[in-house]
Amino acid sequence: MNRLIVKPGKGYMKIALLFYLLAIFFFVMLIITSYASTHDDTQEAILACCGLPIAVGLIPTIIYRNVKMIFDNDGVVSSNILGMSKKYSWSDITEAKLLNDSQYRCSVYANDKKVGSAIFSYDGYTQMLDILIKKQLLEKSDIVEKAKRRAAITQPGGLSGTIFKNKR
């Protein structure tokens, strides 16, 4: 089996970029008002407006950078929002559940503990479903097919995923 990395799609970085551009806009406004106004209150308000978009933009950046699940021959490695990883062997993985909600969230469990989850907009989502079906952790059903179609629509160029060969 090839190594499959399932992680948030580039949409998260696009959202973060929007907030960073908003912060730059407010920073430019701060420079302009510093020449036009002698009131410190205006400058302080605009400076506060610079910090808010930067803080909000950090959230999707951290999610994009840290959250991922890696599937390989040995098992699953799951990383949370803080970047802390934990490895689970295939014998530890007990089941996978696919919710029939608007995001088609697929959660992987080891010994009744949630290992990680992915939604249809994640890179590698459809390949993850195929691996889980092949390992008999997820049943092939109409919900799986709907989730695959939804993922194919939202990903540029059809099915998504980042697959690397094992370099051992």
pLDDT digits (tens, 9 = 90+) for 99-109: 888 889 999 99
d(C-alpha 130, C-alpha 132), whole Å: 5
d(C-alpha 7, C-alpha 78), whole Å: 10
122-141: pLDDT as tens digits = 999 999 999 999 999 999 98
Question: 58 or 35: whose pLDDT is higher?
Answer: 58
DSSP 156: T
Check if the beta carbon of residue 42 is closer than 8 Å to that of residue 33: yes
Which three-class secondary structure state does DSSP give residue 77?
strand
Helices 125-134 and 142-154 pack at an angle, to 10 degrees, of 160
Q: What is the pTM of this model?
A: 0.76
